[in-house]
Amino acid sequence: MLARKGVVLKKIEKVVGKHVYGNLYECDYDALVDEEYLRDTVIEAARKGNMTLLDVRSWKIGLGVSVVAIVLESHITVHTWPEFSFATVDVYSCGSHTDPERAFEYIVSRLKARKVVRGYVDRSFDEVETISILE
Protein backbone atom coordinates (compact mmCIF):
# COMPACT_ATOMS: atom_id res chain seq x y z
CA MET A 1 0.00 0.00 0.00
CA LEU A 2 1.12 3.53 -0.73
CA ALA A 3 -0.05 6.44 1.42
CA ARG A 4 -0.35 10.04 0.23
CA LYS A 5 -1.94 12.87 2.27
CA GLY A 6 -4.87 10.98 3.66
CA VAL A 7 -5.18 8.70 0.63
CA VAL A 8 -4.09 5.08 0.47
CA LEU A 9 -3.35 3.49 -2.90
CA LYS A 10 -3.72 -0.26 -2.83
CA LYS A 11 -2.59 -2.38 -5.81
CA ILE A 12 -5.05 -5.18 -6.49
CA GLU A 13 -3.95 -7.86 -8.92
CA LYS A 14 -6.98 -8.82 -10.98
CA VAL A 15 -5.46 -11.15 -13.60
CA VAL A 16 -2.15 -13.00 -13.43
CA GLY A 17 -0.83 -13.61 -16.94
CA LYS A 18 2.62 -15.06 -17.70
CA HIS A 19 3.84 -15.55 -21.25
CA VAL A 20 7.13 -17.34 -21.98
CA TYR A 21 8.18 -17.81 -25.59
CA GLY A 22 11.32 -18.55 -27.51
CA ASN A 23 13.29 -19.70 -30.51
CA LEU A 24 15.19 -22.96 -30.10
CA TYR A 25 18.26 -23.55 -32.26
CA GLU A 26 20.39 -26.63 -32.93
CA CYS A 27 17.66 -28.99 -31.71
CA ASP A 28 17.68 -32.76 -32.02
CA TYR A 29 16.45 -33.68 -35.51
CA ASP A 30 14.71 -36.88 -34.40
CA ALA A 31 12.73 -35.01 -31.74
CA LEU A 32 11.64 -32.35 -34.24
CA VAL A 33 10.12 -34.85 -36.71
CA ASP A 34 8.42 -37.16 -34.18
CA GLU A 35 4.81 -36.04 -33.79
CA GLU A 36 4.00 -38.47 -30.97
CA TYR A 37 7.16 -37.48 -29.03
CA LEU A 38 6.24 -33.79 -29.37
CA ARG A 39 2.65 -34.39 -28.27
CA ASP A 40 3.87 -36.31 -25.22
CA THR A 41 6.35 -33.50 -24.50
CA VAL A 42 3.64 -30.84 -24.56
CA ILE A 43 1.29 -32.94 -22.41
CA GLU A 44 4.00 -33.42 -19.78
CA ALA A 45 4.98 -29.72 -19.99
CA ALA A 46 1.38 -28.78 -19.11
CA ARG A 47 1.55 -31.09 -16.10
CA LYS A 48 4.91 -29.70 -14.98
CA GLY A 49 3.55 -26.16 -15.36
CA ASN A 50 0.54 -27.03 -13.18
CA MET A 51 -1.90 -26.35 -16.03
CA THR A 52 -5.19 -28.09 -16.75
CA LEU A 53 -4.98 -29.78 -20.13
CA LEU A 54 -8.19 -29.60 -22.16
CA ASP A 55 -7.11 -30.72 -25.63
CA VAL A 56 -4.04 -31.38 -27.78
CA ARG A 57 -3.93 -31.21 -31.57
CA SER A 58 -0.99 -31.82 -33.87
CA TRP A 59 -0.19 -31.74 -37.57
CA LYS A 60 2.69 -32.88 -39.74
CA ILE A 61 3.64 -30.07 -42.08
CA GLY A 62 6.33 -31.24 -44.50
CA LEU A 63 9.13 -32.52 -42.28
CA GLY A 64 7.96 -30.41 -39.35
CA VAL A 65 5.28 -30.72 -36.73
CA SER A 66 2.95 -28.24 -35.05
CA VAL A 67 1.45 -29.06 -31.67
CA VAL A 68 -1.18 -26.92 -29.99
CA ALA A 69 -2.35 -27.65 -26.45
CA ILE A 70 -5.34 -25.82 -25.08
CA VAL A 71 -5.10 -25.56 -21.33
CA LEU A 72 -7.78 -24.11 -19.09
CA GLU A 73 -5.34 -21.32 -18.28
CA SER A 74 -4.47 -20.57 -21.99
CA HIS A 75 -2.15 -22.49 -24.38
CA ILE A 76 1.15 -24.17 -25.25
CA THR A 77 2.43 -24.37 -28.83
CA VAL A 78 5.45 -25.94 -30.49
CA HIS A 79 6.28 -25.53 -34.19
CA THR A 80 9.30 -27.31 -35.71
CA TRP A 81 11.48 -26.95 -38.79
CA PRO A 82 13.76 -30.03 -38.66
CA GLU A 83 15.59 -29.06 -41.84
CA PHE A 84 16.96 -26.08 -39.88
CA SER A 85 17.17 -27.82 -36.46
CA PHE A 86 14.82 -25.06 -35.31
CA ALA A 87 11.64 -24.79 -33.24
CA THR A 88 9.48 -22.09 -31.72
CA VAL A 89 7.76 -22.53 -28.37
CA ASP A 90 5.02 -20.47 -26.77
CA VAL A 91 3.68 -21.04 -23.23
CA TYR A 92 1.04 -18.64 -21.97
CA SER A 93 -0.89 -19.17 -18.76
CA CYS A 94 -3.18 -17.27 -16.45
CA GLY A 95 -3.28 -17.83 -12.72
CA SER A 96 -0.76 -17.56 -9.94
CA HIS A 97 -0.82 -21.36 -9.54
CA THR A 98 0.80 -21.96 -12.95
CA ASP A 99 4.50 -22.12 -13.85
CA PRO A 100 4.94 -21.52 -17.59
CA GLU A 101 8.71 -21.12 -17.15
CA ARG A 102 8.99 -24.66 -15.84
CA ALA A 103 6.87 -25.93 -18.76
CA PHE A 104 9.03 -23.99 -21.25
CA GLU A 105 12.29 -25.31 -19.79
CA TYR A 106 10.96 -28.87 -19.93
CA ILE A 107 10.22 -28.49 -23.66
CA VAL A 108 13.69 -27.00 -24.25
CA SER A 109 15.29 -30.00 -22.51
CA ARG A 110 13.25 -32.51 -24.53
CA LEU A 111 14.20 -30.87 -27.84
CA LYS A 112 17.85 -30.76 -26.72
CA ALA A 113 18.24 -27.18 -27.93
CA ARG A 114 21.85 -26.00 -27.82
CA LYS A 115 20.85 -22.34 -28.11
CA VAL A 116 17.69 -20.64 -26.81
CA VAL A 117 16.52 -17.09 -27.33
CA ARG A 118 13.81 -16.66 -24.71
CA GLY A 119 11.30 -13.90 -24.06
CA TYR A 120 8.90 -13.14 -21.24
CA VAL A 121 5.91 -10.84 -21.07
CA ASP A 122 3.92 -10.10 -17.93
CA ARG A 123 0.36 -10.07 -19.22
CA SER A 124 -1.23 -9.41 -15.85
CA PHE A 125 -3.86 -6.79 -15.21
CA ASP A 126 -3.53 -4.75 -12.05
CA GLU A 127 -5.84 -2.17 -10.67
CA VAL A 128 -5.10 0.54 -8.17
CA GLU A 129 -7.79 1.13 -5.59
CA THR A 130 -7.91 4.51 -3.91
CA ILE A 131 -9.10 4.65 -0.32
CA SER A 132 -9.64 8.02 1.31
CA ILE A 133 -8.92 8.25 5.00
CA LEU A 134 -10.93 10.87 6.85
CA GLU A 135 -9.08 12.30 9.82
Active site residues: 74, 79, 94
Q: For residue 32, give the 3-state DSSP assignment.
A: helix
DSSP secondary structure, 61-96, as one string = ETTEEEEEEEETTEEEEEEEEGGGTEEEEEEEEEST
Give the closest residue to 31 by CA, choosing from 108, 115, 103. Answer: 108
Cβ 70 vs Cβ 55: under 8 Å = yes
